[in-house]
Structure 1
Amino acid sequence: MHRSPPMVRPPSIPTARVTRLRRRLSERDFAVLAVLQRVRLASLRQLQRLLVTDGSPRARTRRAQLLLTRLTKLGLVTRFSRTIGGIRAGSSGYIYGLSGLGQAVIDTGGPLGGKRRRVWESKPYFQDHMLEVAELYVQLVEQHRLGQGDLLAYDAEPAAWRHFTGPGGELVVVKPDAYVRIGTAAVERSSFIEVDMTTETLPTIQRKSQRYIDYWRSGMEQQRHGVFPKVVWLVQNEHRAERIAGVIKKLSRDAQKLFAVGLLGNSARLLGGGTQGAAA
């Protein structure tokens, strides 16, 4: 979870314009918009891995470039000025987000009827964080295609957020970066995901963990879904994993079982029930 940066409200968009654009779009065009609606930001390479999977690597990259260039020219997606991967990444390092117009076109609540997120040029930290969350989604989809676990649900923020009444009667919001549910054989595993970028202090990690404990003790998630998801901290290296595991070990004994710590590079396998790489 992270605080969203300042945002700019998109201008009012004529319904007729939205209708005309919808008629021009292909199934793959809509798929791009749907992915960006789900994960907020994605690189061209990530979008290619999700949506352009046939042909040689060069052909896939070229088709993805043409697809995103077209959607950018139509004003449906925004290409950010920053790239990832350095100069050698070329256009594969471009970052894309859904524009206000794109949000209107993908709006499933009727013509401009749904609540649309605003568009912003966020700081590199926020972009990196959202791209890591997007990468988790891409890896889970790839794992699903290989038959290594059925991706039954993936909600990014704010769809993953949970609200409950705190001990003092106050409204409390738990803000995981994502909620994931994966099926393997006869087992389903659900998880709240916290992508850690090594920028938050350990006391902040402890406070976030306590908020999950309070939500668990409220019983609301169990009433709604029959189970409380594992809270999985995904980190960049073993040292950070050990630090967060140390925080978890200081929590109450009954609550420690709610948490796990794993490496970002092994996250898809971890969430599917494989080797964790690091654990609380």
Structure 2
Amino acid sequence: MVLRTELSGRDEEILTFLNRHRYATTTHIRDVFFAEHTTPTAGTRACIRVLHRLLHNRLIARLERRVGGTARGSAATIWYLDAAGERLTRPEGARRRRFASVSTPFLAHILAVTDTHVALIARARTGAFQVERVDLEPDTWRSFLTRAGTAGILKPDLFVHLATTDYDDLWYLEIDLGTESIPVLLAKCCTYTAYKATGRAQAEHGVFPRVLWILPTAARTARLRAAIHAAADLDDRLFVCTTFDAFLAAVEDPDVSSEPTPNNQERRNP
């Protein structure tokens, strides 16, 4: 068994990243932890050496399946914590988590969330903003009582706090892969509205974070935006709908989006 004292600081950070995300590709890990290399190829080679060492020590394991899209070869390998790595990163008193068995739709969604987080990290390196905080499920979940006295639960995919010299921007992020109907997405928008009415998020953050829907196509984005606008019980100023290719522009400058920023809500001065 590998002792914690035998791990480098970067080793521990990689294990923590996998603990938080559950699954990540070689490319994800390279882009977060090996970005200092002069070329992506050099970064990939260094990353693979470290991952294979962690694999040899039973700290991480890889899924048999590969991720789709443009990634090929080792860069498309999907990694997760093996028993020893899970044990090292498990909080005291927490139950053991198992990662080897997962459905394809669930895995695709988890990797899309990881894509989003990694894109924020990479963009922050350019100086566009600082990533002050990122919460993942289940840390994003909030139970609450609606005004009608019924139990509700909010489950954002991500909570993000971004900071610039002028503003702090708070976001709930929802990653949609087109597997749910528009009415299902609208129902989740209603959950955000109900949670906002409790005032709990405002007490926690000082403002109510804006909700960013990241969707797979421009057509689906337009459909959801139109549905939100047409819903009498939804304030469409609270919701921004965009594609993955455009989401960084949306978080960098919410005022450029098609919906105006609500006064004194989702953007605040430091």
Fold similarity call, TM over 0.5: yes
Q: Kindly indicate whether residue 20 of structure 2 is the aligned counterpart of residue 38 of structure 1.
A: yes
Cα pair 1:266 1:277 within 8 Å, conserved: no
Q: Unpaired segments of 5 or more residues in structure 2?
A: 261-270
Q: Kindly indicate whether residue 61 of structure 2 is the aligned counterpart of residue 78 of structure 1.
A: yes
Q: Kindly indicate whether residue 187 of structure 2 is the aligned counterpart of residue 204 of structure 1.
A: no
Q: Kindly indicate whether residue 129 of structure 2 is the aligned counterpart of residue 149 of structure 1.
A: yes
Matching residue of 1:190: 170
1:235-254 to 2 correspondences below 5 Å: 235-252=215-232
Matching residue of 2:73: 90
Q: Which amino acid aligns with 1:262?
A: T
Q: What CA distance in whole angstroms lies between the structure 1 residues aligned with 2:81 and 2:50?
A: 14
* Residue-by-residue CA offset, 1:156-195 (whole Å, 9 max, x unaligned): 1111111111234333210111001101222011111110
TM-score (norm 1): 0.85
Greater mean deviation of Cα atoms: 153-162 or 87-96: 87-96
For residues 276 and 117 of structure 1, do their structure 2 counterparts lie closer, same or farther at Cα, with a shift above 3 Å needed? farther
* Residue-by-residue CA offset, 1:197-219 (whole Å, 9 max, x unaligned): 01101111111111111001111
The counterpart of 1:105, out of the listed 71, 88, 100, is: 88
User: Secondary structure of 2:189's match?
Assistant: helix
1:59-70 to 2 correspondences below 5 Å: 59-70=42-53
For residues 196 and 254 of structure 1, do their structure 2 counterparts lie closer, same or farther at Cα, with a shift above 3 Å needed? closer
Cα pair 2:172 2:210 within 8 Å, conserved: yes
Matching residue of 1:7: none
Q: What CA distance in whole angstroms lies between the structure 2 residues aligned with 1:199 and 1:276?
A: 28
Q: What CA distance in whole angstroms lies between the structure 2 residues aligned with 1:277 and 1:238?
A: 14
Say what the alpha-carbon RMSD is for the aligned residues. 2.2
Matching residue of 2:239: 259
Q: What CA distance in whole angstroms lies between the structure 2 residues aligned with 1:276 and 1:69?
A: 44
Q: What CA distance in whole angstroms lies between the structure 2 residues aligned with 1:229 and 1:88?
A: 34
User: Secondary structure of 2:241's match?
Assistant: strand
Matching residue of 2:213: 233
Shift of residue 272, structure 1, vs aligned partner: 2.4
Greater mean deviation of Cα atoms: 123-132 or 248-257: 248-257
* Residue-by-residue CA offset, 1:31-84 (whole Å, 9 max, x unaligned): 111111222211101100110122333221111111111112222222111112
Q: How many residue pairs align between the two structures?
A: 259
User: Secondary structure of 1:257's match?
Assistant: helix
User: Secondary structure of 1:72's match?
Assistant: helix
Shift of residue 269, structure 1, vs aligned partner: 2.7
Matching residue of 1:26: 8
For residues 254 and 275 of structure 1, do their structure 2 counterparts lie closer, same or farther at Cα, with a shift above 3 Å needed? closer
Q: Which amino acid aligns with 2:63?
A: F
TM-score (norm 2): 0.88
User: Secondary structure of 1:67's match?
Assistant: helix
Q: What CA distance in whole angstroms lies between the structure 1 residues aligned with 2:184 and 2:234?
A: 21
Q: What CA distance in whole angstroms lies between the structure 2 residues aligned with 1:118 and 1:274?
A: 38
Shift of residue 120, structure 1, vs aligned partner: 3.6
Matching residue of 1:180: 160
The percentage of aligned residue pairs carrying the same residue is 29
Shift of residue 228, structure 1, vs aligned partner: 0.6
Shift of residue 101, structure 1, vs aligned partner: 2.6
User: Secondary structure of 1:55's match?
Assistant: coil
Shift of residue 259, structure 1, vs aligned partner: 0.6
Q: What CA distance in whole angstroms lies between the structure 1 residues aligned with 2:87 and 2:256?
A: 40
